[in-house]
Amino acid sequence: MPQGSGALSGVPRRLYHQNLSFLRNHRLHRVLKLAGHDLHFGLPGREDGVLVWGASPTAWRGERIAKQRKVQLVRVEDAFLRSVHPGRALGEAPLGLLFDPVGLHFIGDRPSRIEEILLDASLYDSNILDEARRLSDCLLGVGLSKYNNFDPSLPAPTPGYVLVIDQTVGDASIHFSGATMATFREMLAAAKRNHPERRIVIRTHPESRAGLRPGHYGSGDAGGRVSLLTAPVSPHLLLAGAAEVYTVSSQMGFEAILHGHRPHVFGRPFYAGWGLSQDEHPLPRRMRTLTKEELFAGAMLLAPLWYDPCRDRLCGLDQVIHQLQAEVRAWRDDGRGHVAAGMRLWKRGRLQEVFGGTKPLRFRDAPKAADRLARRTGRSLLLWAGKEPEGFAPQAPCLRVEDGFLRSRGLGAELVPPLSLVTDDLGIYYDPTRPSRLESLIASPLTRHQRHRAEALIDRLRAERLTKYNLPGAAPALPQGHRILVPGQVEDDASIRLGAGAARTNRGLLQAVRTANPDALILYKPHPDVEAGLRPGAMDTTGLADMILSRSDAAALLTEVQEVWTMTSLLGFEALVRGVPVTCLGAPFYAGWGLTRDLGPVPDRRAARPDLVQLVHAALIAYPRYWDPVSGRPCPVEVALERLAGDEIPPPGGLNRLLSKLQGRLASYAHLWR
């Protein structure tokens, strides 16, 4: 069965439950509905089934009814990639569910659906295993786990330790693995006995760390060469530094296998018995030897139903990884809360949505006042990059904010809220006078999955003809000849002030292009803000441009020209995406890497030589944060592309439209409010 197909083999179309909590579980109902099943409260008929949650304390009611009525019993559990926080912590809905009409994956003394999948010869399908290899590498690369409320910046202990993984008392996977409290005592004793010279690190479960449920180990177990790790260190960092791994039935045992370990397993979890672990209690019925790719394919691709909460549909694991990445990044970036400075009033609603999900933003007009408040309250400073005072040295951790490169359907100057915003802890992308976070991302090599994702993004951008603003328009009929597209810019823009070379005006740019290309057909495209009457900059191009392309579609034009010449315009980046050669007279973020012809001053520090795929991944995937205005949640770039290509984006509010019209009438006074 291919991943994301939505098929639930062996599950009746109508399922009944006797659990009041299921009535409130909207995610469960929605996933079943999308998979073609209905969930009802009450008693089943002969063709129906009964649904229970795993082996929960209330599951006995459904088990008894299913037995009495002789109908199919189906169990449901969270999939192995769930959410940012444990469900008990904040009630977050899971991104994936496992439906099992056979048994339950953590009940060791009987088969389960995952076990049947792992024993099925169709698992040898090369396409499935290639996908498993790619996505398991991706999962390790991005560092996601079942729960993700850990801090990836915290260091793991010095490598070479033995990792002993604790679990919560009363967890069903322990009991149904045939384990008890004594099993955890035996496991720790075995780790000490088997590795008399090594340090032993006991990792506390996230729910125990949060005070939700107790674990099996405490401070009394630490001492000497044994330490108790309660800090929220990344499980992937812990596994990467471990020499050996000991577990009863924790999912970290599965992740340990993905890291190349053969964990010592003291229970009977789904990943034991396949030749990939050292099992204290072997499972004779699991006679097949698996590779870790086959194990991953069964557990992560074929068994779960994955759900995309932005698009409201079933999906594949890759889309869940991208969605969870976006949600985890937002939680980590915003966890301490922000004080926002330099933010115009009309922007504040969208900024609150994007950055205030954990703690509401607190706004201050003056950056220095905001910095003082941030320091006093333990928050970070969120500063609109163009409002940073010269010489300003914030004392609080600072993120500079600007619109992203796939912004909206409409202009920011028309008060259309953005779908993407960039944050930069080093500088800002349009300022080449100092390093930026984007520069470091451009210079970073890509994993296979990152490259695959960026290549798909490039194909989609070209096919959908998407740009920063996505304004209506078309490409007019153009004369024959060597066509050079010259995008106009707003001449008081920060990217011109900080990044332009000798040519610092649109007239200077056109003169330079005409001098260097006397026989070319020069096509001048005024900046959209200028055309809309929202920013000053209109000019006479007589003798400098052969055509003025007013209100024309940038993406359509890029398919009709042979070159682009620019100072610092983003249209140069959009041209590179479409394979059009670009000459830069300034130092935009995409210049200086060997992808453009550079006639202006570019920083010597841009010594790396990335390809286009690396540039696109950095600029459109790794650097920005995206917000889905339809579902109201963080989203990956792929969702933002769908919104920009479709018609689901809510229009700006009436107040924004009114203010935009007033701005247009008063454009010559823009310096008073910008």
Whether residue 45 is contained in a domain is answered as no
Judge if 325 and 420 occupy the same domain: yes
Q: Is residue 250 part of a domain?
A: yes
The residue assigned the tokens 């010279």 is 197
Sign of CA dihedral 606, 609, 610, 612: positive
pLDDT digits (tens, 9 = 90+) for 355-375: 999 899 999 999 999 999 999
> Comparing C-alpha atoms, which of 175, 38, 12, 1 is closest to residue 101?
12
pLDDT confidence of residue 105: 94
Q: Is the pLDDT of residue 519 over 50?
A: yes
**Cβ-proximal residues to 345 (8 Å cutoff; 6+ apart), any chain:** none
Mean pLDDT calculated for residue range 188-204: 98
- CB-based contact 359:334 (threshold 8 Å): yes
User: What does the pLDDT average to over 571-597?
Assistant: 98
Give percent helix, percent strand, percent coil of the chain, each to the nearest 5: 35, 15, 45
Whether residue 358 sits in one domain with residue 321: yes
DSSP annotation of 104:
-
Distance of alpha carbon 391 from alpha carbon 96, whole angstroms: 49
286 plus 164 within the same structural domain: yes
* In a shared domain, residues 620 and 472: yes
Q: What is the mean pLDDT of residues 164-168?
A: 97
User: Are residues 164 and 258 part of one domain?
Assistant: yes
In-domain check, residue 302: no
Alpha-carbon span 96 to 654, nearest angstrom: 39
Looking at 274, 291, 308, the residue that finishes a domain is: 291
- pTM: predicted TM-score of the whole model, two decimal places: 0.93
Q: State the Cα torsion 58-61-62-66 to the nearest 10°.
A: 160
By the 10 Å C-beta count (0-12 exposed, 13-18 middle, 19+ buried), 375 is classed as middle
Pairing of strands 38-41, 624-628: unpaired
Q: How confident is the model at residue 532 (pLDDT cuts 50, 70, 90)?
A: low
**Across-strand partners of 100?**
75
- What's the gap between Cα 185 and its chain centre? 39
d(CA 273, CA 213): 29
Nearest residue to 87 via CA among 54, 62, 136: 54
Which residues form the domain of 602?
A: 468-631
Higher per-residue confidence, 673 vs 610: 610
> Taking residues 380-409, what's their average pLDDT?
95
Q: Output the pLDDT for position 10.
A: 86
Q: Which among 291, 307, 330 is the end of a domain?
A: 291
**What one-character DSSP code corresponds to residue 434?**
S
Q: Which of 416-425, 496-505, 541-550, 606-615 has the lowest mean pLDDT?
A: 541-550
Report how far apart, in Å, the C-alpha atoms of 66 and of each of 12, 37, 44, 54, 76 are: 13, 18, 8, 14, 15
Are 317 and 300 spatial neighbours (Cβ–Cβ below 8 Å)? yes
The model's confidence at residue 472, banded by pLDDT at 50, 70 and 90, is confident
Bigger pLDDT: 241 vs 414: 241
Residues 436 and 473 in one domain: no
* 13-53 confidence digits (pLDDT tens): 999 999 989 999 999 999 999 999 999 999 999 999 999 99
Q: Is the pLDDT of residue 562 over 60?
A: yes
* Spatial contact of 295 and 269, defined as CB atoms under 8 Å apart: no
1 pLDDT band (50/70/90 cuts)? Answer: very low
- Please say if the pLDDT value at position 605 is more than 70: yes
Residue 63 forms part of a structural domain? no
What region does 650 belong to: left with phi over 0, alpha with psi -120 to 50, or beta? Answer: beta
pLDDT in tens, 118-154: 999 888 889 999 999 999 999 999 999 999 999 999 9
Asked, for residue 257, whether it belongs to a domain, the answer is yes
pLDDT digits (tens, 9 = 90+) for 334-357: 999 999 999 999 999 999 999 999
* 564 φ/ψ angles, rounded to the nearest 5 degrees: -130, 130
Query: Among candidates 376, 413, 349, 310, which has minimal Cα distance to 649?
Result: 310
Q: Given this model, what pLDDT does residue 89 score?
A: 67
Residue 72 forms beta bridges with which residues?
Answer: 49
Q: Say yes or no: 516 and 627 in one domain.
A: yes
- 544-558, pLDDT tens digit by residue? 999 999 888 999 999
Of the chain, the percentage scoring pLDDT greater than 90 comes to 84
Residue 504 resides in a domain:
yes
Give the confidence band of 87 by pLDDT, cuts at 50, 70, 90.
Answer: confident
In a shared domain, residues 324 and 175? no
Q: For residue 158, what is the domain's CATH number?
A: 3.40.50
Q: Are residues 281 and 167 in the same domain?
A: yes
Element (H, E) at 331: helix 317-334
CA distance 297 to 198: 34
Give the pLDDT confidence score for residue 473 in this predicted structure.
Answer: 80
pLDDT band at residue 415 using 50, 70 and 90 as cut-offs: confident
The answer to whether residues 333 and 305 touch, using CB atoms and an 8 Å cutoff, is no
- Sequence-distant (6+) residues with CB within 8 A of 591 are 572, 584, 598, 600, 602, 606
**How many CB atoms are located within 10 Å of the residue 383 CB?**
29
Q: Is 663 part of a structural domain of the chain?
A: yes
pLDDT one-digit tens code per residue, 635-668:
999 999 999 999 888 887 555 445 544 444 454 4
Q: What is the per-residue pLDDT for 654?
A: 52
CA torsion 505→509→514→517, rounded to 10°? 170
- Bridge partners (DSSP) of residue 68 are none
25, with CB counted inside 10 A (0-12, 13-18, 19+), is middle
- For 95-249, list the strands marked E by DSSP: 96-100, 161-165, 200-203, 226-229, 242-247
> What's the pLDDT band for 536 if we cut at 50, 70, 90?
low
Give me the mean pLDDT over the 198-206 stretch.
96
* Average pLDDT of the residues of the chain: 92
Q: How confident is the model at residue 2 (pLDDT cuts 50, 70, 90)?
A: very low
Domain count, the chain: 3
Return the residue matching tokens 């075995």. 190
435 and 576 in a single domain? The answer is no
Residues 182 and 242 in one domain: yes
Residue 119 lies in a domain: no
Confidence of residue 628 (pLDDT cuts 50, 70, 90): very high
Nearest one of 539, 542, 530, 554 to 467, comparing CA atoms = 554
Residues 414 and 510 grouped into a single domain:
no
Mean pLDDT of 287-315: 96
DSSP 157: P
